[in-house]
Amino acid sequence: MTTVHRLGDHLVNFYLVDTGPALLLVDAGLPAHWDGLRTALRDLGRPVTDIAAVLVTHGHPDHVGVAEQVRAASGAEIWVHESDAPILTEPRRLNKVWTPERSLLGYAVRRPNSLRAPLHLARGGALRIPPVRSLRTFTHDRQLDLPGAPLAIHTPGHTHGSTSYLFPDASVAFTGDALVTHDAVAGRVGPCVICRAFTQDSTTALASLEKIAEHDIATVLPGHGEAWTDGLARAARQAVAGGIR
């Protein structure tokens, strides 16, 4: 039986997936989350070497923060779509491959509280992400040969390589930032696409949600916000109907 443990903090989620024989991480939080991961492993009575792989939904700093530490400590494979691989190998040169549709400044003028989220990421180490030294990549949708048989579904838009990982047997979908239930910058709660200040291609992002709505999955675990337990299809269609700000 697959069990999922939510890690991170009030703004950033990543997940420890216990498949029984091995553990998987879905995303890797911020550098500041390393101690929290170690505490979770200790509470489970599992060594870090039980982590077989880290499934990265996309290359943004709040999703890859401890990936290299986990790889170095456990030998875990780090999986990411090939389009976002350059971000992981050169995290301080993010803007080489990712440019948002709009400036954060406009959101900050209308809603000053929107700056709290990026400041929180910076305090958590988002500006000092270590490069990942070894990666496994994929190009097309595929089932990964890993415990739990995760299905990698390319859901671009937030970044070119954004990926959702579906565990059909557990009826769980990890959507990263392709679909979230809290957008702290735009001030939205409920299934939505993150605002244009953090989205590369909004048209593609919405089309990606139409794609994953075809999958019969009960629970959505996003990169930001609370779990959604009323089905992936309903969450995706609600996010599409809400559009992007």
Interior angle at CA 14, CA 8 and CA 20, nearest 5: 115
The domain tally of the chain equals 1
Alpha carbons 32 and 66: distance in angstroms, whole number: 8
Neighbours of 132 (CB within 10 A): 25
Which residue range(s) make up the domain with 230? 3-242
Question: Residue 176 and residue 155: Cα distance in Å, rounded?
Answer: 10
Structure token digits, residue 72: 């170095």
Which residues, 6 or more positions from 132, have their beta carbon under 8 angstroms from its beta carbon? Answer: 64, 67, 68, 71, 78, 88, 89
DSSP states of 50-113 = GEEEEE-S---GGGTTTHHHHHHHH--EEEEEGGGHHHHHSGGGGGGT---SS-HHHHHHH-GG
CB of 65 within 8 A of CB of 102?
no
Rounded distance between C-alpha atoms, residue 177 and residue 83, angstroms = 16
* Residue range 99-131, pLDDT digits in tens: 999 999 999 998 999 999 999 999 999 999 999
Residue 231 Ramachandran class (φ > 0 left, ψ -120 to 50 alpha, else beta): left
User: Among residues 166, 169, 142, which one has the least CA distance to residue 221?
Assistant: 166
Distance from the Cα of residue 165 to its chain's centroid? 9
What is the CATH classification number for the domain harbouring 132?
3.60.15.10
- Asked whether 151 and 168 are in contact (CB, 8 A), the reply is yes
- H helix or E strand, kind and range, residue 210: helix 202-212
How high is the pLDDT of residue 1?
85
**13 in Cβ contact with 124 (< 8 Å):** no
pLDDT by position in tens, the chain (length 245): 899 999 999 999 999 999 998 999 999 999 999 999 999 999 999 999 999 999 999 999 999 999 999 999 999 999 999 999 999 999 989 988 999 999 999 999 989 999 999 999 999 999 999 999 999 999 999 999 999 999 999 999 999 999 999 999 999 999 999 999 999 999 999 999 999 999 999 999 999 999 999 999 999 999 999 999 999 999 999 999 999 99
CA distance 165 to 151: 6
